[in-house]
Chain A
Amino acid sequence: MSNSFASPPTLASELTTVAGQPIGEGAVTSMAETSNYLWAVGGTHNVLSQAWAEGQCTQKGTAYATMLEYRLPVISNDHYDFHLHFIALGPGGIRSTLTLGAATYTDEVLSTGAGPHVIESSIVITSASTATYATLTVEIKHTTGTPNHHEIRCIAGHWVAKTSPVDTGARYLGTTDKYVPFGINRVGNDYPLSARFGVDMLRNIETLRKRPISYLSWSGVDNLLAAPLSITDPAPALYLGLGDIFTFMVPVHIPQEAVDKDTYTINLHAYLVDNASSVGVDFMGERVTFTGNGWQTAELTIQIDPDEDLSRRFALNIFRVGPDNTSHNQSTLIDASVVPWTDPKIQSISIWGV
């Protein structure tokens, strides 16, 4: 019973918590349990999602090659189990490495199915970390057998939800975002409702509001065994291109407060290649300038309006997330008019916010 919660939570009715009503035990218990539930379960859906058409994300080499790399938000210091799912074909191995700060954690799964099959991989963080994001690298190899390659059709990952009860003591995301779990016994009948309950609840809600959720995760496919020679060979995208402008535009609910205020941040991490000086790319109305190669980070300030049609249809504040359809992006992202493209390129991109 200590810091326990029901799943799914029973929400407190706001009708019983308005002025003039006695503060009933049921409403307060529900609020405390819901808060604990949100700390343990909130944001444990997809943090990483990408798919490929048949025959594209394919490795024929028999030694591990790093083919995918992602930046991912960490949702709390408590969530230590990152669960990956793949749809794979052919005999081979997948070695996934999660890096948080200076620590790395790896899991490897071998499989042999010739047809599409599910592969599950679990990366367990064994040392407490205060990192607020992680880098995931995915290495793939083919092993002897038929067909002559190992192919990934889909990758998805999520942080595994914690079970009841929430661990005792203050919990954190990073070093500053603090959550104080509620002892459920202490919010039952005949216990005084302390001032601490109200203060902790307000601060906990603010911490939960800041918990990151993923908007977009995309990685180019690197290190094919050999460059394609014809239309029948695998030729997956390695870099962000002009066509992605029109196919991303991910429909995401973003609270208006994240648009209007500096309290909440929307993070963009991009991996740059051939960026000798700097390059600007337009995202959601803001031109983000990346300087240098490798992983670059930025905080986005949204300058576009919500998608009115989708917002109305789904009764949410839905924005289109991704590179904008601007003339600047049309000349900055790769198209087929210049081959090879020697200007700066984006090889991986992740956007997450609140």
Chain B
Amino acid sequence: MTTPTNYHIMPSEEGCYNGRIVMGSAASQMALALKQLTNVKFRAAGYYPVGRSTWHPVLNQYIKASYYLGIGNLAKGATDEHDLFYFSQPTSEYIALELVYGPTQRADSDPQILVELYEISGGAVGTKIDDGILFSSPDHLQRTYTGEALGAYRCNTGARPYVATATTTYPTLPRPLYVPSANRGDELVIRVTAEDAVLYGVYIFDIYTGA
């Protein structure tokens, strides 16, 4: 019996009054509702819109709002790095990400996005606790050549839990990041480094493993 993901209907309070026979289903539904709250509702999550310049290079004006998508020409190899805080929960184990990105418009671009997980130590970004994953093009990321449509694209890690082995080389292909048991419930940092691409949003959440 897996954890329900939604709020199932609870038994009537009257079924728990004095003089009533306690039914198994009442207690079972309480246990399942608590599992839903623990493993589904109160999963950790952090949703980061990433603000970018709203200067219009053609109109030469400050638009004051995100008015279009696509980022034109970046220098080859230019990077866009972000340290994002993630306040994990004691139940956190695998962390999924959805990235919203715009590839550079250069014909020779080779977009890639590296994601790593760090702990916070002594008020600073500390030890790396997951050596990371790499989104690359053309397997995981779009390339946008000059003259083709610009836009915000999305990619994600998927939800398949991943177990490293002694021969695992990092960064790996995209997968959920792993939080070691010693770091669960800690304040963590997810470092996202995009090359030949820029980030518009990084949406992070614990995956539901159906326990």
**Pairwise interchain contact A239-B37, C-beta atoms closer than 8 A:** no
B50 within 8 A of A: yes
**Pairwise interchain contact B44-A45, C-beta atoms closer than 8 A:** yes
The 8 Å CB contact of B91, one of A8, A116, A118, A120, is A8
B33 within 8 A of A: yes
B5 within 8 A of A: yes
* Residues of the A chain whose Cβ atoms lie less than 8 Å from the Cβ of B45: 45-46, 213-214, 252
Q: CA separation between A31 and B125, bound complex, in Å?
A: 37
Q: Which of B79-87, B139-147, B167-175 lies at the interface with chain A?
A: B79-87
Within 8 A of B (CB), among A39-53: 41-46, 49-53
Which B-chain residue is minimally distant from A33 (CB atoms)?
Answer: B34
B134 within 8 A of A: no
Q: How far is the CB of A27 from chain B (nearest CB, A)?
A: 7
Which B-chain residue is minimally distant from A43 (CB atoms)?
Answer: B42
Most buried by A among B16, B23, B59: B16
**Pairwise interchain contact A156-B41, C-beta atoms closer than 8 A:** no
* Residues of the B chain whose Cβ atoms lie less than 8 Å from the Cβ of A209: 7, 33, 37, 41
* Residues of the B chain whose Cβ atoms lie less than 8 Å from the Cβ of A42: 37-38, 41-42
The 8 Å CB contact of A208, one of B26, B37, B49, is B37
Most buried by B among A50, A87, A227, A314: A314
Q: CA separation between A30 and B67, bound complex, in Å?
A: 52
**Pairwise interchain contact A46-B44, C-beta atoms closer than 8 A:** yes
* Residues of the B chain whose Cβ atoms lie less than 8 Å from the Cβ of A128: none
Q: How far is the CB of A207 from chain B (nearest CB, A)?
A: 11
* Residues of the A chain whose Cβ atoms lie less than 8 Å from the Cβ of B82: 51, 87, 153-154
Which A-chain residue is minimally distant from B89 (CB atoms)?
Answer: A45
**Pairwise interchain contact B152-A198, C-beta atoms closer than 8 A:** no
Q: How large is the interface on B (under 10, 10 to 19, 20 to 34, 35 or more residues)?
A: 35 or more
**Pairwise interchain contact A8-B24, C-beta atoms closer than 8 A:** no
* Residues of the A chain whose Cβ atoms lie less than 8 Å from the Cβ of B66: 237, 240-244, 247
Within 8 A of B (CB), among A245-300: 246-253, 255-258, 264
The 8 Å CB contact of B10, one of A9, A35, A206, A251, is A206
* Residues of the A chain whose Cβ atoms lie less than 8 Å from the Cβ of B65: 237-244, 333-335, 341, 345
Q: CA separation between A208 and B1, bound complex, in Å?
A: 22
Q: CA separation between A84 and B141, bound complex, in Å?
A: 33
Within 8 A of B (CB), among A122-156: 153-154, 156
**Pairwise interchain contact A237-B47, C-beta atoms closer than 8 A:** no
The 8 Å CB contact of B68, one of A156, A242, A313, is A242
Within 8 A of B (CB), among A297-331: 310, 313-317
Q: How far is the CB of A321 from chain B (nearest CB, A)?
A: 8
* Residues of the B chain whose Cβ atoms lie less than 8 Å from the Cβ of A335: 65, 67-68
**Pairwise interchain contact B67-A57, C-beta atoms closer than 8 A:** no
* Residues of the B chain whose Cβ atoms lie less than 8 Å from the Cβ of A100: none
The 8 Å CB contact of A241, one of B17, B22, B63, is B63
A187 within 8 A of B: no
**Pairwise interchain contact B85-A154, C-beta atoms closer than 8 A:** yes
Which A-chain residue is minimally distant from B82 (CB atoms)?
Answer: A51
Q: How far is the CB of A183 from chain B (nearest CB, A)?
A: 17
Q: CA separation between A238 and B62, bound complex, in Å?
A: 10
Residues 16-44 of chain B, each 1 if its beta carbon lies under 8 Å from chain A, else 0? 11101011111110111111011011111
A18 within 8 A of B: yes
**Pairwise interchain contact A53-B80, C-beta atoms closer than 8 A:** yes
**Pairwise interchain contact A50-B187, C-beta atoms closer than 8 A:** no
* Residues of the A chain whose Cβ atoms lie less than 8 Å from the Cβ of B152: 243, 246-247
A336 within 8 A of B: yes
The 8 Å CB contact of A256, one of B6, B35, B100, B125, is B6
Q: CA separation between A92 and B115, bound complex, in Å?
A: 29
B57 within 8 A of A: yes
**Pairwise interchain contact A51-B49, C-beta atoms closer than 8 A:** yes
B54 within 8 A of A: yes
**Pairwise interchain contact B5-A255, C-beta atoms closer than 8 A:** yes
A228 within 8 A of B: yes
Q: CA separation between A159 and B123, bound complex, in Å?
A: 18
Q: CA separation between A256 and B125, bound complex, in Å?
A: 38
**Pairwise interchain contact B208-A316, C-beta atoms closer than 8 A:** yes
Q: How far is the CB of B17 from chain A (nearest CB, A)?
A: 5
**Pairwise interchain contact B64-A15, C-beta atoms closer than 8 A:** no
**Pairwise interchain contact B89-A31, C-beta atoms closer than 8 A:** no
Q: CA separation between A317 and B55, bound complex, in Å?
A: 37
Q: How far is the CB of A344 from chain B (nearest CB, A)?
A: 12
Q: CA separation between A101 and B89, bound complex, in Å?
A: 29
Interface residues, chain B, with chain A CB atoms under 8 Å away: 1, 5-7, 10-11, 13, 15-18, 20, 22-28, 30-35, 37-38, 40-57, 59-69, 80, 82-91, 96, 98, 100, 120, 123-125, 151-152, 156, 158-159, 184-185, 187, 189, 198-203, 205, 207-208, 210-211
- Beyond the given A214-B45, A244-B66, could you list 8 further A-B residue pairs with CB under 8 A, ordered by the A residue number? A38-B34, A46-B46, A51-B84, A53-B52, A252-B45, A253-B5, A315-B208, A335-B68
